[in-house]
Amino acid sequence: MAAATAQRRPRGLTAISHYTFSKMISDSDSSGSDVEWLAGATSVQDIFNLRNERSIATFDRTHRLVVSFDYLLPVGRQRALGKGMNQILDGVIGGWELSAIISATSGQPLGITQSASNLWNSANQRPNLVGDPSLPGSPRDKLNQYFNVNAFQQVGPDIIGSTPRFLSNYRGPGLLNEDATLMKNFNIREHKYVQLRLEAYSVTNSPQWGMPNTSFGDTSFGQITSATGNRSIQIAAKFYY
């Protein structure tokens, strides 16, 4: 794993960015309270051949970038623009502050299983991999077939399928999210003020596509049928004393 952090503080602006490049390999994965936010778990298909289970881990995220900033808008009394502004006008357009957090993360690895699973150890049976599962296009263009479903072939009872536990070069949709807050302080007395906040989550209202169905044999195999990411806006007021 490699990580890099950069921080910059020009006048009125504080910005921090953090980028992580990583790779996680395992022969089994199990969800726990410490990693539930990552989601995903797999069982071992063949306990007598763990080398065959070695693959990218369900928790692997190759790239993750987080950028955050806080900016004092340069308009208003005691700011670069409008230092002589009267108090009424300053109360409307002066003294605003903008902050945001933007995060981008690689998608979750795809783990293909067989819906008609029939192994002696009750594990998740996997089909055979007989072709290239990749398809061109953006997730929006591939909602009805996110990957090549013909790249997999059903196997019979008690047969170990050749599909890796997780596909190494093909993943679910990545995540991109932007949250922002516009705020202004109204001083009442020294060390006492009211803060008005306009908060927006998922600012661009862009869909966060869910994972495609990875159960080979299901009628919706390869399809994305869920999404989140609707914009949410709220207004809040805080009193500091």
pLDDT band at 30 (very low <50, low <70, confident <90, very high): low
Predicted confidence band at 132 (pLDDT cuts at 50, 70, 90)? very high
pLDDT number for residue 44: 76
Question: Taking a C-beta distance cutoff of 8 angstroms, is the pair 59, 109 a contact?
Answer: no
Q: Are strands 192-201 and 2-8 parallel, antiparallel or unpaired?
A: unpaired
Per-residue pLDDT of 150-202, as tens digits, reads: 999 999 999 999 999 999 889 999 999 999 999 988 877 777 888 899 999 99
List the structure tokens of 231: 């914009």
Residues 12-23: tens digit of each pLDDT:
889 999 999 999
The torsion angle over the Cα atoms of residues 209, 211, 213 and 216, rounded to 10 degrees, is 140
The full set of domain ranges for the chain reads: 24-59+107-240
Q: Give the pLDDT score at 127.
A: 95
Token pair listed for 41: 């778990």
The type of residue at 143 is: L
Beta-sheet pairing, 175-189 with 192-201: antiparallel
pTM, entire model: 0.79
pLDDT of residue 110: 94
Of 145, 240, 241, 130, the closest CA to residue 195 belongs to 240
Q: Cα dist. 161→81, 118, 123, 190 in Å? A: 68, 11, 12, 71
The amino acid at residue 63 is H
Structure confidence at residue 93 as a pLDDT band (50, 70, 90):
confident
Average pLDDT of the segment spanning 106-117: 91
What pLDDT shows up at residue 43? 65
Q: 29, 27, 108, 32: which is closest to 63 by C-alpha?
A: 108
Tracing tokens 């709220």 back to the chain, one arrives at 234
Q: Is 123 exposed, middle or buried (0-12, 13-18, 19+ CB in 10 A)?
A: middle
Q: What is the pLDDT of residue 40?
A: 54
The owner of tokens 């805080």 is 238
pLDDT of 78 > 80? The answer is: no
